[in-house]
Amino acid sequence: MTRLLSTLALALAAVFSPRVNATPTTPRNPVLLVHGIKDDARKMEPMARYLRGQGWDARTMSLRPSWGQKGLDVLAGQVADFIGENYAPGAKIDLVAFSMGGLVTRYYLQRLGGLARVQRYVTLSTPHHGTLIAYLLPNAGCRQMRPGSAFLRDLNADAAQLAQLDFTSFWTPFDAIIVPPRSSVIAQARNVRLPIALHPLMVWQSRMLGAVAAALDH
The more confidently predicted of residues 10 and 180 is: 180
Q: For the chain, where are the E strands, in sequence order?
A: 31-34, 58-61, 93-98, 118-124, 166-171, 190-193
Task: Report the pLDDT averaged over residues 121-134.
Answer: 98
Judge whether 108 lies within some domain: yes
Judge whether 20 lies within some domain: no
Judge whether 8 lies within some domain: yes
Quick check: helix, strand or coil at residue 117?
coil
Judge whether 144 lies within some domain: yes
Judge whether 24 lies within some domain: no
pLDDT tens for 171-215 read 999 999 999 999 999 999 999 999 999 999 999 999 999 999 999
Judge whether 74 lies within some domain: yes
CATH number of the domain enclosing 61: 3.40.50.1820
Strand partners, 32: 59, 95
∠ CA 181-51-1, nearest 5°, is 60
Give the helix, strand, coil percentages of the chain, each rounded to 5.
Answer: 45, 15, 40
Flag whether the pTM goes above 0.75: yes
54 and 28 in contact (C-beta within 8 Å)?
Answer: no
pLDDT tens for 85-119 read 999 999 999 999 999 999 999 999 999 999 999 99
The total number of structural domains in the chain stands at 1
Containing structural domain, residue 39: 2-15+29-216
Q: What is the pLDDT of residue 25?
A: 54
Judge whether 199 lies within some domain: yes
Judge whether 23 lies within some domain: no
Considering only CA atoms, which of 94, 96, 148, 92 is closest in space to residue 117? 92
215 and 24 in contact (C-beta within 8 Å)?
Answer: no
